Amino acid sequence: SLSDLEAKIQESGAEPFVVRLRARIHAVRGKGKSAFVVLRDRTATVQCVFFVDKEQKVVSKGMVKYVTSVSKESVVDVTGVAVVPSSPVEGCTIKQVEIQGTGMFVVSKAAPLPFDIADACRREDAEGAHVNQDTRLDNRFIDLRTPANQAIFRIQSAVGQLFRENLLSKDFVEIHTPKIMAGSSEGGSSVFELKYMGRNACLAQSPQLCKQMAICADFGKVFEIGPVFRAEKSFTHRHLCEFVGMDFEMTIKEHYFELLDVIDELFVYMFDGLKNKKEELEAVNQQYPFEPLEYLRPSLRLTFEEGVQLLKENGIDQDPFDDLSTEVERTLGRLVKEKYKTDFYILHRYPLAARPFYTMPAPDDPRYTNSYDVFIRGEEIISGAQRIHDPALLTERAKAKGMDVSTIESYIKSFSFGAHPHGGCGVGLERVAMLYLGLNNIRKSSMFPRDPQRLTP
């Protein structure tokens, strides 16, 4: 493959060797008796030159003409000889090898492109042509070929892998819960309804109910990475209608801080692991410059009341018993960064009014809860809590929140046969990738985003 070329020529002591490569035509230009083709395989590029030789035995004029006529992005097989160029090749990722082409076969011809890949690679603040988001997303299969996009989804893959690795190392069991449910778990308005064999059903808004029932079933510690569906009606930079939820749930002995400890260790592990993705981080940085994430170990924990106090000290009046608006969350993120030098922090002990029905009220003050949100750069990536494990209180809270209790009867019943105190959290994968990389829109970290206006490709 292309990426091996430089190592191979070093091994051969700069001796030319014959190659046969499959790659895309990244760029091509003809100049009289020669054609300069830049070949690309994923993000690696190499220059391939076709010279018409004297007797036109190897490369004829016709061949040069043919090579220059092949459309950009076509997939080709090229034969040639890899040599060390007289000077390093400018503009290619592979600089110490050049290919002297002897033949080219078009495997699959590319139709005229909806946009130029070079334009799609341009920094958002740079001069020159840009490709707008809808054009990119309409043609996502081409847009994803850019180095930054290749890197974003490799980093996202690492986020999932590190999450799984860390929890497996702590004896969590990976589970797979149904995505077709009888009712909602997070409240009614953002639920996709559907017919299930003639009955009313909906797409799971989270694995909440099932992951808790797995705890009632004595699995002790469970996690899931899977799709989550929300019928979000408004079009924001951070909401999708389908996203990947990374959830865990576990029993606790004494205190919901045991849950915060797991989150803390998990995320420090993930952030440390992501630092190894140097090439990918650099590729994202080239197109979407961002400040590396600052985080503390252990992570910063503030109570909701401490957050309200910090806001107050900075002239922002926040009701201590009401949820934070997106704007106030951002401001708090900025104030926390200034005061504590961290982009990542946990805010816990949220007011009861701001949390879902299953959240455990604080034992010392029922206006608050044993719950938390976690933020990166002032935006929420995690919600979680200790859960109510008493069926009577759970029923009461579900009714108070206007839930249709008939759809969650079996869930409530599951706590009637002896239930361990427990809790957990849900993490949005696309939000972690977006905010870790300082991207400005969740569509950049969703391979094929589903939002209120987009159902294809």
Name the token pair of 366: 């029922």
Burial 186-198 (b: 16+ CB within 10 A, else e): beeeebeeeeeee
Distances (CA, A) of 90 to 46, 81, 96, 261: 10, 19, 10, 50
Tokens 């030789």 sit on residue: 53
CB-based contact 445:244 (threshold 8 Å): no
Q: How far is the CB of 397 from ligand ATP (least distance, A)?
A: 17
* Residue closest to ligand ATP (Cβ): 234
Q: Is 254 a catalytic residue?
A: no
Per partner kind, with CB cut-offs from 5 to 8 A, the member of ligand AMO, ligand ATP, none near residue 234 is ligand ATP
Q: Cis ω on the peptide bond leading into residue 298 (within 30° of 0)?
A: yes
Helix (H, G, I), strand (E, B) or coil at 392: helix
45 or 371, CB closer to ligand AMO? Answer: 371
CB-based contact 86:37 (threshold 8 Å): no
What's the CA gap between 319 and 328, in Å, rounded? 11
Q: How far is the CB of 433 from ligand ATP (least distance, A)?
A: 15
Q: Is 239 a catalytic residue?
A: yes
Tokens 């750069």 sit on residue: 377
Q: How far is the CB of 190 from ligand AMO (least distance, A)?
A: 7
177 or 206, CB closer to ligand AMO? Answer: 206
Closest CA to 6 of 110, 97, 90: 97
List residues binding ligand AMO (CB under 6 A).
186, 206, 208, 230, 232, 239-240, 243, 245, 247, 380-385, 424-428, 430-431, 442
Work out whether the CA dihedral 71, 76, 78, 83 comes out positive or negative: positive
Q: Cis ω on the peptide bond leading into residue 457 (within 30° of 0)?
A: yes
Per partner kind, with CB cut-offs from 5 to 8 A, the member of ligand ATP, ligand AMO, none near residue 182 is none
Q: Is 157 a catalytic residue?
A: no
Q: Is 334 a catalytic residue?
A: no
What's the CA gap between 248 and 263, in Å, rounded? 10
Region of 402 on the Ramachandran plot (φ > 0 left; ψ -120 to 50 alpha; else beta): left
Query: Does residue number 359 form part of the binding site for ligand ATP (CB under 6 A)?
Result: no
Distance, CA of 251 to chain centre: 28
169 or 234, CB closer to ligand ATP? Answer: 234
226 or 384, CB closer to ligand AMO? Answer: 384
Q: How far is the CB of 383 from ligand ATP (least distance, A)?
A: 5
What are 100's strand-pairing partners?
49, 81
CB-based contact 245:206 (threshold 8 Å): yes
Applying the rule CB under 6 A, the residues between 220 and 279 that interact with ligand ATP are 232, 234, 236, 239
Helix ranges (DSSP H) in 46-189: 61-69, 117-120, 133-138, 140-143, 147-169
Q: Is 325 a catalytic residue?
A: no
Q: How far is the CB of 192 from ligand ATP (least distance, A)?
A: 15
State the catalytic residue, choosing from 24, 26, 145, 239: 239
Q: Is 24 a catalytic residue?
A: no
State the catalytic residue, choosing from 24, 145, 238, 377: 238
Helix (H, G, I), strand (E, B) or coil at 166: helix
Site string for ligand ATP, 120-159 (x = CB under 6 A): ----------------------------------------
Per partner kind, with CB cut-offs from 5 to 8 A, the member of ligand ATP, ligand AMO, none near residue 300 is none
Q: Is 122 a catalytic residue?
A: no
Per partner kind, with CB cut-offs from 5 to 8 A, the member of ligand AMO, ligand ATP, none near residue 430 is ligand AMO
Among 119, 265, 323, 390, interactor with ligand ATP by CB under 6 A: 323
Applying the rule CB under 6 A, the residues between 409 and 438 that interact with ligand ATP are none
Site string for ligand ATP, 365-404 (x = CB under 6 A): ---------------x--x---------------------
Closest CA to 450 of 229, 246, 159: 229
State the catalytic residue, choosing from 184, 185, 371, 383: 383
Q: How far is the CB of 7 from ligand AMO (least distance, A)?
A: 41
Using only C-alpha atoms, the chain has a radius of gyration, in whole angstroms, of 27
State the catalytic residue, choosing from 431, 443, 450, 454: 431
What's the CA gap between 266 and 358, in Å, rounded? 24
Residue ranges binding ligand ATP (CB under 6 A): 232, 234, 236, 239, 323, 325-326, 380, 383
Q: Which residues are catalytic, by number?
A: 230, 232, 238-239, 380, 383, 431
